[in-house]
Amino acid sequence: MLGPAAVAALALSVGVAVTLGPADVSLVNVRDILLNHVRLTDIPVRASEDAIVWEERLPRALVAAACGAGLGLCGAILQSLLRNPLADPFVLGVSSGASTGAVLIGVLGLGGGALGMSGGAFVGALAAFGVVLLLARFSGGGTSSVVLAGVASSQFFAAVTSLVVFGFADADETRGVMFWLLGSLEGMRWDDVALLAAVVSAGGVICLASARSLDAFAFGEDVAASLGIHVARTRVLLLVLTALLTATLVSVAGAIGFVGLVLPHAARLLFGHRHARVIPATAVLGAVFMVWVDAASRVVFAPTPLPVGVGTALVGVPVFAMLLVRRRGHA
Amino acid sequence: MTLQADRVSWRRGGTLVVDGVSVQPVPGSTVALLGPNGSGKSSLLRLLQGAARPDSGTVTLDGADLSGMRRREIARAVATVTQHAETDADIIVREVVRLGRTPHRSLLGGDTAQDERAIDRALEHVGLTEKARHRWHTLSGGERQRAHIARALAQEPRELLLDEPTNHLDIRHQLELLALVAELPVTAIIALHDLNLAAMFCDVVLVLQQGRVVAGGRPEEVLTPSLIADVYGVRAHVARDHVSGRISVAFQPGTPSGATSRGVVSSLPGVRLPG
């Protein structure tokens, strides 16, 4: 029952988001343009509208949805696995690792252009995640040590990024770096959509298949092991998955905070604690949330676009505060 | 045939924490593992549940070596309740108990009627049926431990391993919990600190010191003042209740004087006594 409703909400969100913007396009026109492209019908539409919708807004909205879903999934997995409500890719320093990687490539020209800034962000995100997990492991491996290690490495990578920017970047390059720090969905194309859709849906399927195991982690690894879960294998599989997923998302859209941290909590507050529900709910909520935030950040200060990371926090924090207070009334 | 340990040893960070211990409980009996902190009780329990592999010796379940079995397979026969397992999750009691069904489920299959029945039975066994929909964080310490036992029972195990399950409980809840465990239709192996609880509820006690079994048998045979002085380094008076035959231990201030019986009952190959 909830499944179709969720898909409908997401489709409607994308549809409405695509109509918004300086050039007004009606929902009916959006439908016609989609039909033309998907079913190869030939409903007459204006070429300029077709270009705006099909080449600009739709891929952008779909990338936003994929980012929201993917970041939500990463947050849900990390919070359950590490048993820490503060765990998310941003807090664990993965995003700042990505920006460092992008800066090293983009500003210093490391790798001789073989990687590109996206490639640098990808490698940087993976490296930062590795550093955090190793640091946490060698410091005793408790659940709070992961977050401490994340905060520490996050600061470190942010410092390296700033150092490179202040020392070596010109004004244009600095603006380019801001993209990685705050996230941006400017200029998304269909190949970005294809990449993210493939990665996020593969990740989603693996997460869903691990839902039971994640439930069993509620009381810690010892209890999970006594329930027949292969703790080490599950941990490695899901941590690697999260790292790859985050690295891919960040390399395409930059570091978007808040979604991974808060959306899983919102999903749990609304749909309870079982991961068979939390995982799809987080993905859909994240997707819908990001689509709207991105649409708003395009429109509100148009023609100046707002970095999408600014919007996620501005819109998300009040919503989350409301959910928290409401839960208190129920407890 | 049940869960048995045969001369298992385990070296952990350079120290031999379990040293040639054998355990062969009679099916359905309740066995206490006694001994001071660091004597190897928890480590032995980890070996028995297959969470760690012994460096030498074998743990077997129905004759099969535990190290060759799948985790799920083990979890369908052996359930564990640790001390003080807590969660941040905002979860209701029934969902906690439902976790016990984890080893019985297929990868993507939903809950079956059999799962629901097992959960109902487990809740009833520990007297938490009425609190099934209560949130975990609203339960008292004793109720939480009972919920963990229900979770373990929902696994439908034949063996129940408990690591100091009465820690942090008041005396009434300690008594209730152990009475409950002793009556369960499973073989229970319980690491305990309280000698009186062991004497009251356990058929057999196994006393560990520095990873080795130094005594084993019925509580009234094993728990003598000299053994208590030897293993725990305290003075104790042991009284026998002539009606029940059970003993009770009263501790006295000061350190034990004179020679001890160190080594007298050590190196038992295994303990097999009727329940």
For chain A positions 178-207, those within 8 Å of chain B (CB to CB) are: none
| Chain A residue numbers touching B96 (CB-CB < 8 A) | 218-219
A73 to chain B nearest CA, in Å? 17
| Chain A residue numbers touching B102 (CB-CB < 8 A) | 212, 215-216, 227-229
Residues A268, B90: C-beta atoms closer than 8 Å: yes
Residues A222, B89: C-beta atoms closer than 8 Å: no
Label residues A125-134 b or e (16+ Cβ within 10 Å = b).
bbbbbebbbe
Q: Residues B73, B181: one domain?
A: yes
Q: What pLDDT, on the 0 to 100 scale, is given for residue B231?
A: 93
Whole-number Å distance between alpha carbons of B70 and B55:
19
Q: Residues B111, B196: one domain?
A: no
Q: Is residue B249 within 8 Å of B228, Cβ to Cβ?
A: yes
Whole-number Å distance between alpha carbons of B62 and B64:
6
Which of helix, strand or coil describes residue B215? strand
- Calculate the average pLDDT of chain B: 88
As for how many domains chain B has, the answer is 2
Q: Residues B93, B206: one domain?
A: no
Q: Residues B71, B173: one domain?
A: yes
Residue A218 has its nearest CB partner, among B73, B91, B135, at B91
When pLDDT is cut at 50, 70 and 90, the band that residue A92 belongs to is confident
List the single range of A172-176, A217-221, A223-227, B133-137 with lowest mean pLDDT.
A172-176
Residue B28 resides in a domain: yes
Q: What percent of chain B has pLDDT over 70?
A: 92
Residues B242-268, mean pLDDT to the nearest whole number: 69
Q: Is residue B123 within 8 Å of B94, Cβ to Cβ?
A: yes
Enumerate the domain spans of chain A. 2-330
Residues A228, B103: C-beta atoms closer than 8 Å: yes
Residue B108 has its nearest CB partner, among A209, A229, A327, at A209
Residues A41-62, mean pLDDT to the nearest whole number: 85
Residues A287-291, mean pLDDT to the nearest whole number: 94
| pLDDT higher than threshold 50 for residue B262 | no
List the single range of A93-97, A303-307, B239-243 with lowest mean pLDDT.
A303-307
CB pairs under 8 A between A and B: 71
Residue B232 resides in a domain: no
Residues B102, A268: C-beta atoms closer than 8 Å: no
Whether chain B has a CB inside 8 Å of the CB on A219: the answer is: yes
What are φ and ψ of residue A91, in 5° steps?
-65, -35
Q: What pLDDT, on the 0 to 100 scale, is given for residue A328?
A: 57
To which CATH superfamily is domain A2-330 assigned?
ABC transporter involved in vitamin B12 uptake, BtuC (1.10.3470.10)
Q: What pLDDT, on the 0 to 100 scale, is given for residue B259?
A: 45
Minimal-distance CA residue of chain A relative to B80: A226
When pLDDT is cut at 50, 70 and 90, the band that residue B3 belongs to is very high
When pLDDT is cut at 50, 70 and 90, the band that residue A291 belongs to is very high
| Chain B residue numbers touching A226 (CB-CB < 8 A) | 49, 51, 75, 78-80, 82
Q: Which of B34, B28, B27, B24 is nearest to B58 (CA)?
A: B24
Residue B15 resides in a domain: yes
Residues B71, A230: C-beta atoms closer than 8 Å: yes
| Chain B residue numbers touching A225 (CB-CB < 8 A) | 49, 51, 71
| Alpha carbons within 13 A on the beta-carbon side of A176 | 18
Strands B64-65 and B235-240: unpaired
Q: What is the CATH number of the domain that holds B2?
A: 3.40.50.300
| Chain B residue numbers touching A220 (CB-CB < 8 A) | 85-87
Q: Residues B8, B59: one domain?
A: yes
Whole-number Å distance between alpha carbons of A5 and B53:
49
Residue B20 resides in a domain: yes
Tokens of A95: 């995003």
Residues B125-178 pLDDT 10s: 888 999 999 999 999 888 999 999 999 999 999 999 999 998 878 898 899 889
When pLDDT is cut at 50, 70 and 90, the band that residue B261 belongs to is very low
Residues A222, B82: C-beta atoms closer than 8 Å: yes
| pLDDT higher than threshold 50 for residue B52 | yes
Residues A219, B108: C-beta atoms closer than 8 Å: no
Residue B256 resides in a domain: no
| pLDDT higher than threshold 60 for residue A329 | no
Residue B64 resides in a domain: yes
A327 to chain B nearest CA, in Å? 11
Q: What pLDDT, on the 0 to 100 scale, is given for residue B264?
A: 43
**E strands of B62-202, at which residues?**
64-65, 78-81, 159-163, 187-191
Label residues B42-75 b or e (16+ Cβ within 10 Å = b).
bbbbbbbbbbbebeebbbbbeeeebeebebebbb
Residues B53-76 pLDDT 10s: 999 999 999 989 998 999 999 999
B138: domain range? 89-154
Q: What pLDDT, on the 0 to 100 scale, is given for residue A180?
A: 67
For chain A positions 119-148, those within 8 Å of chain B (CB to CB) are: none
Residue B87 has its nearest CB partner, among A219, A222, A227, at A219
Q: Residues B180, B269: one domain?
A: yes
What type of residue is B222? V
Whether chain B has a CB inside 8 Å of the CB on A301: the answer is: no
Residues A150-208 pLDDT 10s: 888 889 998 998 888 888 877 777 777 776 677 788 888 898 999 999 999 999 999 99
Q: Residues B52, B102: one domain?
A: no
Q: What pLDDT, on the 0 to 100 scale, is given for residue A109?
A: 72
